[in-house]
Amino acid sequence: MANTISLIGMPGAGKSTVGVLLAKALGLNFVDSDLLLQVQYQASLQEILDCEGHLALRAKEAEVLLNMPVENSLISTGGSAVYSESAMARLRQAGPVVFVDISLATVRQRIDDADSRGIARAPGQDLAAVYAERRPLYHRFATHVIDGNTAAATITVSAILDALHEN
């Protein structure tokens, strides 16, 4: 089993919830890159978006992913991590990258207020457009794709463990 595993996917995919459980199961450190970003910049994702815009948030996310320690970690990335070729190359070099794939309907169901969630998107871009833009990127960078539409995080964890053991 790899000593570094990264989770990618849309906001609401359950990367943080699943990540904590998976890290416990595998004895890895749990790292949430969104939390690291917020601590490093002393601002919420939404505050960065409001003050500096979506491209600045993406750049800050990439910087965090490129500079944080990745060894012996389960990394829950921000939803826009896939916009950074260099950050994704680093994560793929460190170990498996698991795309927790959910439907647009599930995204909408799990995200109450997209306007305050800190989602890095262009002004006026709705969730459907973000989903359509990011989904091919998630597939491109993933070494494994797991269905995350189930309501039970433990089922998603089991599916990830099964996929990782198959390799």
Asked if residue 116 has pLDDT above 70, the reply is no
pLDDT tens digits for range 80-103: 999 999 999 999 999 999 999 999
pLDDT at 83: 96
Among 144, 124, 148, 123, residue whose Cα is nearest residue 10: 148
24 appears as a binding residue in the annotation: no
Of the listed ranges 1-5, 42-46, 83-87, the one predicted with least confidence: 1-5
Of the listed ranges 73-77, 83-87, 102-106, 110-114, the one predicted with least confidence: 110-114
Residue 82 CA to residue 63 CA, distance in Å, equals 13
Owning domain of residue 44: 4-166
Which residues pair with residue 31 across a beta bridge? 75
- Which sign, positive or negative, has the C-alpha torsion 99, 104, 107, 111? positive
117 appears as a binding residue in the annotation: yes
pLDDT at 119: 81
Residue 38 CA to residue 138 CA, distance in Å, equals 23
Higher local confidence (pLDDT), 116 or 42:
42
Asked if residue 136 has pLDDT above 80, the reply is yes
79 appears as a binding residue in the annotation: yes
Start-to-end CA distance of the chain, whole Å, equals: 9
14 appears as a binding residue in the annotation: yes
101 appears as a binding residue in the annotation: no
Residue 7 CA to residue 5 CA, distance in Å, equals 7
| Long-range contacts, 42-48 (Cβ 8 Å, 24+) | 44/118, 45/78, 45/117, 45/118, 45/119, 45/120, 46/116, 46/117, 46/118, 48/118
What's the mean pLDDT in 33-54?
94
Domain count, the chain: 1
- In order of 8, 18, 47, 128, the CA distances from 32 in angstroms are 11, 11, 18, 25
Model confidence at 167, pLDDT cuts 50, 70, 90, reads low
The enclosing domain of 156 has a CATH number of 3.40.50.300
